Amino acid sequence: MPVINPNMITISPDRMKKLGVSAVITNAYIIRRNSDLRKKALEDGVHRLIGFDGPVMTDSGTFQSHVYGDVEYTNSEIVEFQRSIGSDIGTILDIFSEPTDSHTVAKEAVEETHRRFLEAKNQGEMILSGPIQGSVYPDLRRYSASLMSEAGSQYLPIGGVVPLLESYRYSDLVDIIINSRLNADFSAPLHLFGAGHPMFLGMSVLLGIDIFDSASYVKYARDSRLIYPDGTRDLSKIDEFPLWSPIHDRYTVREMFSLDPEKRTEEIAWHNLFAIFMEISEIRERIMEQNLWQYVEGKARAHPSLFKAYLRILDHSRDIAQYQEISKKSPFFYFDGYSSMHPSIQRLRSFITDISKNANKIVIVENDLTRIQMPDQSVVREIYNRSDQTFLFPWNSFLVPVELKDTYPVQQIVGHFLGQEEMKASIDALKEEGREVKILSEVADELRNAPEKRDLDLQEVRMIADYQFGEGTGMKMFPDGSVVRRSRSTSRIRSVSYGGEILATLRPHDGFFTLSFSGGLRLREICGKKHSVSVSRDSADYNVKGYNVFFKFITDFDHEIIAGNETTVLDPDGEMVAVGKATVSGREIGYYKSGVAVKVTHGRESGESAENES
Of residues 29, 23, 24, 31, the one with CA closest to residue 6: 31
**Dihedral angle over CA of 396, 398, 400, 405, nearest 10:** 0
Parallel, antiparallel, or unpaired for β 501-506 and 513-515? antiparallel
Query: What is the number of alpha carbons within 13 Å of residue 288 lying toward its C-beta?
Result: 6
Distance of CA 41 to the CA centre of its chain: 39
Strand, coil or helix: 567: strand
- How many whole angstroms separate alpha carbon 42 and alpha carbon 327? 52
| Best CA proximity match to 568, nearest among 596, 540, 538, 531 | 531
Written as one letter, the residue type at 359 is: A
Helices first, then strands: H and E counts in the chain: 28, 26
Contact 119, 76 (CB under 8 A): yes
Phi/psi at 333 (5° precision): -90, 125
Question: What stretches of 69-197 show up as alpha helix (H) in DSSP?
Answer: 75-84, 103-120, 138-150, 162-166, 170-181
Residue 246 CB: number of other CB atoms within 10 A?
Answer: 16
Burial 346-378 (b: 16+ CB within 10 A, else e): bbbbebbeebbeebeebbbbbeeebeeeebeeb
Amino acid sitting at position 340: S
Pairing of strands 483-486, 493-498: antiparallel
What residues have CB less than 8 Å from 106, skipping those under 6 apart? 97, 133, 134, 135, 137, 140
If DSSP codes are grouped into helix, strand and coil, which group holds residue 157? strand
Are the beta carbons of 64 and 93 closer than 8 angstroms?
A: no
Element (H, E) at 361: strand 361-364
Instruction: Respond yes or no: is residue 230 known to be catalytic.
Output: no
Nearest residue to 343 via CA among 323, 326, 321 = 321
Q: How far is CA 369 from CA 310, 377, 585, in A?
A: 35, 11, 37
Cα Rg of the chain (Å, integer) = 29
Q: Specify the 3-state DSSP secondary structure of 530.
A: coil
Strands annotated E in 15-55:
24-27
Q: Which helix (H) or strand (E) holds 563?
A: none
Instruction: Supply the DSSP symbol for 572.
Output: T
Q: Which one from 36, 59, 139, 239 is the annotated catalytic residue? A: 59
Phi, psi angles (nearest 5°) of residue 198: -55, -25
Contact call for residues 156 and 149 (beta carbons, < 8 A): yes
Task: Kindly list the catalytic residues.
Answer: 59
